[in-house]
Structure 1
Amino acid sequence: MEADTEKLSRRAGRGTVTAAEKAQAREVSLRRIGRLFAPHRGSLAAVTLIIVASSVVALASPFLLRAVIDTALPERDTTLLAWLTGAMVVVAAVTAALGVVQTWIATSVGQQVMHRLRTDVFTHLQRQSIAFFTRTRTGEVQSRITNDIGGMQTVVTSTATSVASNLTTAVATAVAMAVLSWQLSLVSLVVLPPAVYLTRRVARMRRAITAQQQRELADLNVTVEEGLSISGIQLSRTMGAGPALVQRFTGSSERLVDLELRSQLAGRWRMASTGVVFAAVPAVIYLGAGFTTTLSIGTLIAFTTLQAGLFRPLLGLMSVGVSLVSSLALFARIFEYLDLPVEVDDPADPVEVDPSRMPGHVRIEDVTFAYDGADTAAVAGVTLDVPAGSTLALVGATGSGKSTLAALVARLYDPDAGRVTIDGVDLRDMRLTDLAAVVGVVSQETYLLHTTVRENLRYAKPDATDAEIEAAARAAQVHDLIAGLPDGYDTMVGSRGHRFSGGEKQRLAIARTLLRDPRVLVLDEATSALDTSTEKAVQAAFDALSRGRTTITIAHRLSTVRDADRIAVVDHGRIVESGTHDALVAQHGRYATLAA
């Protein structure tokens, strides 16, 4: 099984495996599910004790009823009758109170388990590499955290207590029935084997349907994410794809309706047949009692009351069994994400560094890297040395490997061969938080959060003061723009920052990165969306801020890299030329062609 799962994991990296195959490849262990409740042993023990106490107290009711019918009423003993009926009320009150306490504790435990699952999945996904998110649909990830974990809520919250409650009640009731009449008890229990068999059949049917439902919900989430985001709406309007999206959403929703109907009706006739058999048992007991004179009327009524009380927990146990088996498909999907290996992680024994004291000497040593599923390496055998405080510019055609080198410096990926170091420390030996404090990245794809301008900037440095935020904005030539907004720095950015132009968003992103004051700046087409005058202003700010810092710039506009200390020309993942602007132009090589 582990080998099969490993094979599927490798296939998953290439995007050729379905969710169904993954779920089938990993059997969910009930022991693993049980470990989710391990931190709550004390609370579960208290719930169990309450359940046992409630079941024992509730068993007094049939015996009190027998005493009323066989003794108090025939003998017209009003004093005994008063005591017996009063005891019935007390029993009802005590069991009700215990039920409230039991529900409170059980729900609290269930919600804490749900909370832990949600946070564990979110935390683990935060640690995944960029490669995972490039091959996984955003709606799929959201569906796992919301729909799958939400679908498990009833099972997680009530399964353990339902099993304990129903099992305790069933055992106690069976003992009480045997005390009253062991012969009638045998008649009552004869229906159990077929009922158990039918329940297992129904559980297997519902598990398969549940897996289908969650996959369909994930597809629905993807459609919503892609069709109702700002970018999605703009694309559908300009492409006239609205009707096709509606049709896609409608089809997915209709399939969910069908699956829900199948889930609710799965085995319904089988379970209904079991219910009919259960209902017929009292009739058989009454018939049998007619042929014997050894049972009193009070005993018969008490027994049938107990017998009805026995079938309820038995049906409850069967129902819980169906729900639990059905939910295994959900647990499989959640555990699948929790079991994902972390490709870019903190080292087991990190090198202690002080980000504020690191000069920022970057070395790329014989680095080779290929993306998952790619036939050729994105970069191959690249060696570059960027002394602290110097500037390196990477130029070349689109797809030549420039952005890949930048991603390796920020450790968004780890090289397949070679290493990247800062001040002699391999990036893989540094904590990710330390590296993020050392290396700041401004990319050509700007992402702004749906919150205020101030909070968007403070995202880079949560403890930043308003003065620091304003200084970073001024350095990025965006303060005047922000000051002119309706609420200044407290203006809502909107979804993905679509209220701003591309140049404005990029300047905000530059300010956000500068607020962290990193020792190494990676500028991946950071000024590509700026007009000429704004680009000059921002470039001037970068020139001032780059003094004393290591800067790696990727640009198509060679005008922005003319003054770099060193320019490297990248072609098909290799460095083909390297030198200053004047030296490269004099060589009349690839750079001279680009600069012409």
Structure 2
Amino acid sequence: MRPGGRGVAGGDAAKQKELNAEAPEIPNLGKHITDLFRPYKTQLTVIIGLVIVSAALGIAPPLLTQRVFDDGLFPPDGIPNLPLLAWLVGAMIAAFVLSSAISVVQTHFTARVGNRVMGDLRVRLFGHLQAMELGFFTRTKTGVIQSRLQNDVGGVANVLTNTVSSIIGNIVTVIAAAVAMLLLSWQLTLIALVLMPIIVFAQRRVGQVRARIAGKTQESLSEMTAITQEALSVSGVLLAKTYSRQGAETGRYAAENARQIDLQVRQTMSGQYFFAMVQVFMSAVPAIVYLVSGWIIANAQGEGFDPGITSGTIVAFTTVQSRLLFPLMALMRIALDLQTSRALFARIFEYLNLNPAITDRPDALEPSERPGEAGRITFDDVTFRYSDAEASERATLDHVSFEVAPGEFVAFVGASGSGKTTIGSLIPRLYEASEGSVRYGGVDVRDLQQEALMDRIGVVTQDPYLFHATIAENLRYGKPDATQAELEAAAKLANIHDAISTFANGYDTVVGERGYRLSGGEKQRIAIARVLLKNPRVLVLDEATSALDTVNERAVQRALDGARGGRTTIAIAHRLSTIEGADRIYVVGSGHILESGTHTELITQGGAYAELYAQQQ
């Protein structure tokens, strides 16, 4: 049984529910979002100042309009006051120009801050995912993780880049416009604002509906990304072709795509009737103002008093009113966007709030480099289960104890599911023991710095992973500053240099997605060369020669024999021919060590090893 097949030992296993739920509840979500802007307080202060000045300048022209009509065009004496009119028009134009210039500068600052915040969030999420334990990734679809990183973060981009300045600008504009309207006519202001509370209540209801649909939309996007990642990878395409399932895979994608289209349409249409109603109201208010103004003036004349409403007042009021109503509508749209984005932020922070199950202790130590201790591996009564919730299930490893001295070559053999791969995963602390301790250099690996421990351990897995890059770039992943001579020395040690030399581009040959342009044996040997370039104290080979033919297998085994000088080597093997020369062989079965000894000793004992050997022979 391989680690991670059903869960993870310890950590947040119980906490981590299905991670593609539509909209998880995140405590203090507003504070989490606000904290994203904390590093940019200075820039935000500048933006807020620019927005306030720009919004205030936007109110000046409507107020000047009243003076243009009442004092410039139609003064009491009936003769237009051209000097005053020229001054007022100049002031209006200056306000427009200055407001536009400030708006350009403010947009520049807003775009920079917003995109940096979004970039910080994306990098923070990526880094947090890198820190998660291996078991997290065995439980979660890669496509779902990619969707959180791309679709969800991308979905909040508009909120991060525009919302702060839009909210502040529109609020300042609304306040300034409301004050200006009151100064012009309190009677007309009441008429313009009488229905606003009803509209605000309706907006909140629409926002709740849109937030629910947004969560489902992102869930569907996650599933589409997962299907794409699975079906269009080299392995997925190969599997579909060999089983003639291309049509079924297309149908699966088409079904989720149809769901996505339906959700997108629902999200687009949710609130449209509301905004249509608001638009009608806002368009009708100026006409109502004209009617009410006429009624007030007519009644005032009949009563013999001055209502204070002139033609300039009406023109200025309707102009200012547009400066009020359109920002109000913008604020309503922003409120809906925020409610919608809240679901996306919740999905992002659901990941960010997960605690890695395996972390460094505050007083974590550097692994020992003392002679006679560096590279020593000890299992002391180790038991491993997949999670505390499954404690009643049979342990993958059950009270296992052994020790590997520095420089020894030790092998673990046994049937599939016996637990031998779990042993290899516990050594570099990819998983943690449920009971007992795993020690490196005499110190429990839980007391060591993870990164420093991994620097001293090299792992070659049964299924080597190569990037879609050149051979040289893949080799340098283990040692970024390696010289060409070091690359070639490691390749020769892994018996792959001669094969690389036959390629037209040599070490600059691009290996393709997951190395599919290479044979299985070539991929395996490049992976071995990569780990040898790292030059670890401990070498863990998990079926590392399984893809090699007999000739190459023996060549690599000879190379590994030569590379073992002073290095602890632990081989997890199924093919017994690869480990006959081991200093000690452990036979693992049902989570226990059944027997141990050299190849000759175990054959002589006639036990489980001898039976396995006879079957393979």
- Counterpart amino acid of residue 59 in structure 2: L
Partner AA of 2:49 in structure 1: L
Question: 2:269 aligned with 1:265, yes or no?
Answer: yes
- Residue pair 1:62, 1:305 contacting (<8 A) in 2 also: yes
Cα separation, 2, equivalents of 1:354 and 1:366: 22
Shift of 1:30: 1.4
Matches for 1:518-529 after TM superposition, within 5 Å: 518-529=536-547
Q: Say yes or no: does 1:367 pair with 2:382.
A: yes
The residue number in structure 1 matching 2:32 is 32
Distance of 2:26 and 2:93 partners within structure 1: 51
Structure 1: stretches of 5+ with no match in the other structure: 1-7
For 2:18, the equivalent position in structure 1 comes to 17
Q: Which residue of 2 aligns with 1:451?
A: 469
**Structure 1 position 82, deviation (Å):** 1.6
Deviation at 1:292, TM superposition (A): 3.1
- More off after superposition, 371-380 vs 210-219: 371-380
2:292 matches 1:291: no
Cα contact 1:355–1:437 (8 A) shared by 2: no
The answer to whether the Cα contact below 8 Å between 2:29 and 2:346 also exists between their aligned partners in 1 is no
Q: Output the CA distance in 1 between the equivalents of 2:603 and 2:267.
A: 71
| One-letter identity of the residue aligned with 2:529 | A
The C-alpha deviation readout for 1:201-232, integer Å capped at 9, x for no partner, is 11001000000110100111011111111111
Are 1:359 and 1:389, in contact at CA under 8 Å, matched by a contact in 2?
no
Cα distance in 1 for residues equivalent to 2:13 and 2:30? 26
Displacement after TM superposition at 1:513 (Å): 0.3
Superposed counterparts of 1:7-86, under 5 Å? 10=13, 17=18, 19-20=20-21, 23-27=23-27, 29-74=29-74, 75-86=79-90
Q: 1:555 aligns with which of 573, 594, 601?
A: 573
Structure 1 residue 337 corresponds to structure 2 residue 341? no
- Secondary structure, counterpart of 1:46 in structure 2: helix
Is the CA contact 1:439–1:522 (under 8 Å) kept in the aligned structure 2?
yes
Q: Deviations over 1:235-274 (max 9, x none)?
A: 0000111001111111111211111111111021122112
Alpha-carbon separation, structure 2, partners of 1:56 and 1:582: 91
2:311 and 2:370 map into 1 onto residues whose CA distance is 89
With 66-75 and 392-401 compared, the bigger mean Cα shift is at 66-75
- Describe the superposition over 1:103-134 as per-residue Cα deviations: whole angstroms up to 9, x where unpaired: 11111111111011101110011011111111
- Residue 436 of structure 1 deviates from its aligned partner by 1.4
Residue 426 of structure 2 corresponds to residue 411 of structure 1: no
- Structure 1 counterpart of 2:169: 165
Q: Show the counterpart of 2:278.
A: 274
Relative to structure 1, the CA distance from residue 522 to residue 261 in structure 2 (aligned partners, 3 Å threshold; closer, same or farther) is same
Stretch deviating more after TM superposition (253-262 or 68-77): 68-77
TM-score (norm 2): 0.93
Distance 1:77 1:502 in 2: 91
Separation of aligned partners in 2, 1:213 and 1:129: 28
How do 1:141-152 residues align onto structure 2 when only pairs under 5 Å count? 141-152=145-156
User: Distance in 2 between the 1:45 and 1:551 partners?
Assistant: 59
Partner in structure 1 of residue 134 of structure 2: 130
**Alignment match, 1:252:** 256
Distance, in Å, in 1 between the alignment partners of 2:13 and 2:462 is 31
Alignment equivalent of 1:568, drawn from 586, 593, 596: 586
Instruction: Give the match's secondary structure for 1:399.
Output: coil
Question: Which has the higher relative contact order, 1 or 2, with Cα contacts under 8 A spaced 6 or more apart?
Answer: 2
Q: Which moved more, 1:31-40 or 1:159-168?
A: 31-40
Q: SS of 2:436's equivalent?
A: strand
CA-CA distance at 1:147 after TM superposition: 0.2
Residues 420-431 of structure 1 mapped to structure 2, 5 A cutoff: 420-431=438-449
Aligned to 1:201: 205
Does structure 1 residue 306 correspond to structure 2 residue 316? no
Report the Cα offset of residue 61 of structure 1.
0.3
Q: CA deviation at 1:547?
A: 2.1
Q: Per the alignment, in what secondary structure is the counterpart of residue 19 of structure 1?
A: coil
User: For 1:299-348, what per-residue CA distance to the aligned partner results, in whole angstroms no more than 9, with x for missing partners?
Assistant: 11001111111001111111100000111110011001001111122222
- Evaluate the alpha carbon distance shift between residue 150 and residue 28 of structure 1 in structure 2; reply closer, same or farther with a 3 A threshold: farther
Partner of 2:184: 180
SS in 2 for 1:383: strand
What displacement does 1:464 show?
Answer: 1.0
Corresponding residue number in structure 2 for 1:349 = 363
C-alpha contact (below 8 Å) 1:356/1:438 kept by paired residues:
no
SS of the aligned residue for 1:324 comes to: helix
Name the SS of the counterpart of 1:343 in structure 2: coil
Please name the residue that 1:486 is paired with.
Answer: 504
Aligned-partner Cα distance in 2 for 1:359–1:314:
69
State the Cα distance separating 1:31 from its structure 2 match. Answer: 2.1
Q: Does 1:594 align with 2:598?
A: no
Given residue 17 of structure 1, which amino acid in structure 2 is its aligned partner? E
Query: 1:19, 1:184 → 2: CA distance?
Result: 51
1:103 and 2:117 correspond: no
- Displacement of 1:415 in angstroms is 0.5
8 Å Cα contact 2:215-2:344 kept in structure 1: yes
Query: What's the counterpart of residue 215 of structure 1?
Result: 219
**Separation in structure 2 between the aligned mates of residue 377 and residue 25 of structure 1, nearest angstrom:** 34
**Deviation for aligned residue 1:595:** 1.7
Question: Following TM superposition, by how much is the alpha carbon of 1:411 offset from its aligned partner in structure 2, in angstroms?
Answer: 1.1
1:5 paired residue number: none
2 CA distance for matches of 1:29 and 1:564? 56
Q: CA deviation at 1:278?
A: 2.0
| Whole-Å separation in 2 of the counterparts to 1:581 and 1:173 | 90
CA deviation vs aligned residue, 1:67-111 (integer Å, no higher than 9, x gap): 111121233222222222121111110010111111111111111
Equivalents in 2 of 1:160, 1:387: separation in Å? Answer: 61
CA–CA distance in structure 1, aligned partners of residues 376 and 30 of structure 2:
52
Q: Point out the more displaced range, 355-364 or 458-467.
A: 355-364
Q: Confirm or deny: 8 A CA contact 2:378 2:440 kept in the other structure.
A: yes
Residue 377 of structure 1, aligned match among 395, 403, 421 = 395
3-state SS of 1:65 partner: helix
> Partner letter of residue 554 of structure 1?
I
- Structure 1 residues 231, 225: closer, same or farther in 2, change over 3 A? same
Q: Is the 8 A contact 1:356 1:519 kept in 2?
A: no
Between the aligned partners of 1:469 and 1:269, the Cα distance in structure 2 is 66
Q: For 2:296, what is the secondary structure of its paired residue?
A: coil
Kept in 1: contact 2:55–2:170 (CA 8 A): no
What is the one-letter code of the residue matched to 1:212? K
Q: In structure 2, do the counterparts of structure 1 residues 331 and 356 end up closer, same or farther at CA, with 3 Å as the change threshold?
A: farther
Residue in 1 that maps onto 2:330: 316
Mapped partners of 1:335, 1:86: distance in 2: 52
Q: Does the C-alpha gap of structure 1 residues 404 and 10 become closer, same or farther in structure 2, counting only changes over 3 Å? A: closer
After superposition, the C-alpha distances for 1:463-489 in whole angstroms (9 at most, x for unaligned) are 111111110000000001111112110
Does the 8 Å contact 2:19/2:140 carry over to 1? no
Would you say how many aligned residue pairs link Structure 1 and Structure 2? 586
Would the alpha carbon gap of residues 19 and 485 (structure 1) be closer, same or farther in structure 2, given more than 3 Å must change? same
Q: Indicate if the aligned counterparts of 2:368 and 2:441 stay in contact, CA closer than 8 A.
A: no
> Per-residue displacement from partner, 1:427-484 (whole Å, max 9, x unpaired)?
1122222111111111111110011100000000111111111100000000011111
Q: Percent identity?
A: 45
CA contact (8 A) 2:12 2:356 kept: no
Does the CA-based 8 Å contact 1:138-1:222 persist in structure 2? yes
